[in-house]
Structure 1
Amino acid sequence: MAPDDLLIQGAKLFDGHRFLPPGCLLVRQGRVAALAERLTPPAGVPVLDARGSTVLPGLIDAHVHVLPGALQAALRAGVTTEVDLFADPRLVGSLRQQAAADPGAADLRSAGIGATAPGGHPTRLVERGLLPPFPTVAGPEEAEDFVAARVAEGSHLLKVVLEDGTTTGHPCPSLTADTVRALVSAAHARGLLVVAHVLTQAHALVAIGAGVDGLAHLFVDEPPAPQFLDAVAQGDVFVVPTLTSLAARAGHHRGRALAADPHLGPSLDPRQRATLEMDFPAAPGARADLGHALSTVDRLHRAGRRILAGTDASSPGTAHGASLHDELLLLVEAGLPTAAALAAATSAPAAALGLPDRGALTPGLRADLLLVDGDPELDVTRTRHVVQVWRAGRRGT
């Protein structure tokens, strides 16, 4: 299907960095062609009167786990790109192929199989039949072959898992610092970014010390220490807090309220709704305090560090697409100005994750667009009022 040429008139604009007054946005051949206060419609190009609405770049969820139907659910909610951080590469390949022909599905990038210790997280999901068996990494000597296999499978980045069960109450083996360093070295030698699953501050410091490029969660076990903030700055590490998932881990039931949202709830398919309303399975002894993560986000933002919006969908208490809107609200509640929160879901992940063709309303970039009713600058929850979504200039909703 060919992309749609279109002139959007009268909408307020968020260009990926800041809000602009109402103006015009021209789309030609699937890309942003021009932004201006006024534009004359080219011959034959349809005009959309969008007064009272806001146009944003299509949203990017920087941490998901794809399942069949996830990319369609994401796009219905205005998420035009998902970045998967642990999935069967065969499923990823199939979903990417389907999405290429379906304007109603989000684009997908994936880490494929993440690096974890034998018996480590998330091998319990294999025992429960939720993931097929996958290779693990027993020590530094296995890092080179593991990374080479992920590259051969088409992974766009590498995920390393540092998890001992402290915050969940389910003890498990974790990668050693030496193994993480070896994995980072092998991945960087092949041009791959490395992101680390961490839920404790100690593991976050180990990951940063090993040279990872980003953290796939924030920690919920204790308040941020000065050495953590210094390490993030020195390593220029980006952080994907996944506050909506951490809220579920900490026993907050935000997913149920989101499922009842009159603007997002009706678009949820049964699978997404069930996951969104699910409680996170914590065990006695679990240590998870959302307040630690919220405080850390505020400190990171004040220090000028890079924050990316991600949800950890399909984990309990989340849904593809819908939960990113709750993540935006949580980022604002943590202290980010609305424009900074929206940048965390548009231009920031595009820049950090090697997606230079999207994430901003800049001439020449992909016309991944989200049109919402109202003004998110005044109320970030207006992003939930989805009117239309375009992926590479093709209307998806």
Structure 2
Amino acid sequence: MTTQATSPTLIRQAAVFDGSRLVAAQDVLIDGPLIAAVGAHLEASAGATVLDGAGRTLLPGLIDAHTHTTDTTQLRQALLFGITTELDMGGSAGTARRMRAAANERDDLADVRVATTGATAPGGHPCQLVELGMIEPFPTVAGPDEADAFVAARVAEGADHLKIFIEDGTAIGKPLPLMSPQTVTALIRAAHERGLRTVAHTLTRDAARQAIDCGIDGLAHAPADGPSDPALIEAAAAGGVFVVPTLTALTGMTTTPAEYELADDPRLHPYADPQWLADLDEIRTTAPAQRIGPIGVDPRHAADAALRMYQLGVPLLAGTDGTGGHGHPTTHGISYHGELALLVAAGLTPAQALTAATAAPADAFGLTDRGRIAPGLRADLLLVDGDPTRDVTALRSITALWRNGTPVERTAPRAVQTQYQIQE
């Protein structure tokens, strides 16, 4: 189903956000899957398609640094909203391999990198979901002596990075067993020996500090169980970690999910998944405790911690924890625009939020071929009306989109949804 552009495309006189800064009135040439040239006055080759970028901004394709991807419909939804790469943070190994294979073959889906099976203690999070019949049983790690074999098995099943769970149940009101710090350290060491980056599920301050002290590369959530003290913020900076705040997922546990505003935005609503819109209507009438259970986290604590970490040099990565279903409104694609708005509300400038959406996740995960606009990089590109470095919601006004150099047809999902579903 992948299609390639039949001729080069020249975008003229667009403002270009290159991943870190805005440059006015640039021409950008797309040739095949790559960015061929960037400059003030490029010549259009014979047969090239020429687009007027005046009054518009060209950006790298967006990267969602925390998702859980289970079917190609989700990858299609992500792409419709400008996300050209998803970083999956754990799930079934077989499903992960199918998602990555589909994305490798088709430019009408977002690309994806996968964690496969996350590391947790026997009975630890998310084993409770196995008990509820929501996910299949999976291997766990009882002690440091099992770490090397566990990581080797993840590499064998195709993991691009390693997810480690440090979750004592505070967030969900149910005590859960934890792996020892020695086990977490051994997992990180085994992953690094095999060239894998490590990311820890850490919703609490204690969990975040343990992950940092053990040598983790990144936190999959900002600590949200209370105000973070200066020692934790400074430890994150000294430890060289990155943080994915997942503020939209945390607001989804409250009475005011970010998705309510997103679903009502006329720039976004036509491309939203119809089933998600129907589910959201039901969520609006259900209290969070009934939807999710006891809640022990507050997005305001996460936003404060993330901003203070950022101010000390900790890279922030935009990510949603997008899953969908099970009473949680956060989903693929549309929720990402809520995450960026929440990062700005927390104190980032729109330009800083755009870096969190492009260059920062590419750097954090070693994706050297994307996340910026420069000759030789992948032509994963997003053209929008207006200037999102002044108003980040301008990203919602997508006028053109390319994935791997191929123009993306942004057809409303009502007409095409079944086309993208995958059989398990």
Work out whether the TM-score is over 0.5.
yes
Native 8 Å contact 2:248 2:257 kept in 1: no
Do the aligned partners of 1:272 and 1:320 also contact (CA within 8 Å) in 2?
no
Query: Displacement of 1:282 after TM fit?
Result: 4.0
> 1:330–1:322: structure 2 CA closer, same or farther, 3 Å change rule?
same
Structure-2 change in CA distance of 1:75 and 1:37 (3 Å):
same
Match of 2:199, SS state, is strand
**Pick aligned residue for 2:4 from 2, 5, 15:** 2
Q: Answer yes or no: is the 8 Å Cα contact 2:165–2:202 preserved in 1.
A: yes
Contact 2:8 2:31 in 1 (8 A): yes
Answer whether contact 1:62 1:308 (CA < 8 A) is retained: yes
Instruction: Give RMSD over aligned pairs.
Output: 1.6
Q: Residue 18 of structure 1 corresponds to which residue in structure 2?
A: 21
The offset of 1:81, in angstroms, is 0.1
Decide whether the 8 Å contact of 1:275 with 1:319 is kept in 2. Answer: no
Give the match for residue 145 of structure 1. Answer: 149
Displacement of 1:116: 1.1
Specify the code of the residue in structure 1 equivalent to 2:35.
Answer: V
Deviations 1:157-186 (A, max 9, x none): 001000111122122222221211111111
Give 1:234 deviation, angstroms: 1.6
> Post-superposition shift, 1:271?
4.1
Which amino acid letter does the alignment assign opposite residue 289 of structure 1? D
Range with greater deviation from structure 2 (312-321 or 194-203): 312-321
Of 288, 305, 329, which residue of structure 1 is paired with 2:297? 288
Q: How does 1:133-212 map to 2 (within 5 A)?
A: 133-212=137-216
8 Å contact from structure 1 (residues 249, 282) kept in 2 = yes
Residues 1:306 and 2:315 aligned together:
yes
Deviates more, 1:122-131 or 1:136-145: 122-131
> Is this contact kept in 1: 2:222–2:303, CA < 8 A?
no
Q: Determine the C-alpha separation between the residues in 2 that align with 1:47 and 1:339.
A: 27
1:129, 1:58 → 2: CA distance? 36
Partner amino acid for 2:127? Answer: T
CA distance in 1, matches of 2:349, 2:62: 17
Residue 118 of structure 1: aligned partner: 122
Map 1:54-69; keep pairs closer than 5 Å. 54-68=57-71, 69=73
Match of residue 363, structure 1, among 362, 375, 381: 375
Match for residue 352 of structure 1?
A: 364
Q: Tell whether the 8 Å contact from 1:5 to 1:30 is kept in structure 2 after alignment.
A: no
Aligned with residue 350 of structure 2, among 320, 330, 338: 338
Distance 1:282-1:101 versus aligned 2 partners, 3 A rule: closer
CA shift for structure 1 position 235: 1.1
The amino acid of 1:298's aligned partner reads L
- Give the whole-Å Cα distance in 1 for the aligned partners of 2:135 and 2:222: 24
Counterpart among 94, 101, 104 of residue 90 in structure 1: 94
- Are the equivalent residues in 1 in contact too, given 2:323–2:331 (CA < 8 A)? yes
* Contact 1:276–1:319 (8 Å) recurs in 2: no
How high is the TM-score relative to the length of structure 2? 0.90
Q: SS at 2:182's partner residue?
A: helix
1:25-44 to 2 correspondence within 5 Å? 25-44=28-47
What letter is aligned with 1:144?
Answer: D
Structure 1 stretches of 5 or more lacking a match? none
How many residues are aligned here? 396
Amino acid at match of 1:42: S
Cα distance change of structure 1 residues 276 and 243 upon mapping to structure 2, 3 Å threshold: farther
For the 8 Å contact 2:84–2:403, the answer to whether it is kept is yes
| Counterpart check, 1:72 vs 2:84 | no
Instruction: Go from structure 1 to structure 2 and tell me whether the alpha carbon gap of 1:274 and 1:194 turns closer, same or farther (over 3 Å shift).
Output: farther
Deviation at 1:189, TM superposition (A): 1.1
| Partner amino acid, structure 2, of 1:201 | R
Where does residue 109 of structure 1 map in the other structure? 113
CA distance in 2 between counterparts of 1:207 and 1:273 reads 36
Does the 8 A contact of 1:117 with 1:137 survive in 2?
A: yes
Change (3 A) 1:266 1:322: same
The corresponding residue for 1:131 is: 135
Q: 2:398 matched to which residue of 1?
A: 386
Q: Deviations over 1:205-229 (max 9, x none)?
A: 0001111100000111111211111
Contact 1:169 1:282 in 2 (8 A): no
The percent identity for this pair of structures is 48
Query: Which has the larger displacement, 199-208 or 373-382?
Result: 373-382
Instruction: Indicate conservation of the 8 Å contact 1:18/1:339, yes or no.
Output: yes
Matches within 5 A, 1:224-243: 224-243=228-247
Return the TM-score normalized by structure 1: 0.96
SS, match of residue 90 in structure 1: helix
